[in-house]
Structure 1
């Protein structure tokens, strides 16, 4: 076998290895197991959603937002502090399909959610995470803590 044929064989072999790796980077297919989850995954605004409707959505003109990177904590609240979403993550998910432990505290007039949960990272992009609880049909969209 001549040198050109050897190089060609090596290149073809490397390409055959690279194609599955590149296609796996396209993202994990997440099971849509409820209409509420389907509705939630179409949302783009940071906040908390339950049962197919928004409970509290961040508006930069009327709300405050804080991110604590060392505690992996995210908080949004109204300026008068009557409504607040605070979530602490055990880890920052690197891909969709990952489950992470979280502590959630949401308070507003008429609503209170306080729990320790395992949430599925159902979607992520460059600046946001979509976290989902199938048990409570609750989703939370937050900015990625490293941003």
Structure 2
């Protein structure tokens, strides 16, 4: 395919363009478009402009690596066809069952099946462990200073 594109470009521009040149240019455009989309989806970032945004959106807009179905952060899961599920599990009756994924747990080297709500529970447990550990460290520091 890239050779055919290169052939047409050579005829139109009279430049020596190879199929691998076309492939590299396309891959670069894909990477730049992905960075553009990611940057503009993040909060606190300046909006970027991308000259070929509309054309790339038409071509790549349905790809999951560009627009993922489920977005995970440290405390929320955003699923575009449902609601936002927060880490506090206050809307337990409204939880959406997400497909299981392979996740490496920090306490084990084996991959286990974990659903998104389970992942939230695990994150909350880890945060609680970290909080308790921080409290213990602060107490130890206080007692050392006192003695």
Same fold (TM > 0.5) = no
Q: TM-score, normalised by structure 1?
A: 0.22
Using the size of structure 2 for normalisation, the TM-score is 0.22
Higher gyration radius (CA) = 2
Larger relative contact order (Cα-Cα within 8 Å, sequence gap ≥ 6): 1
More helix per residue: 2
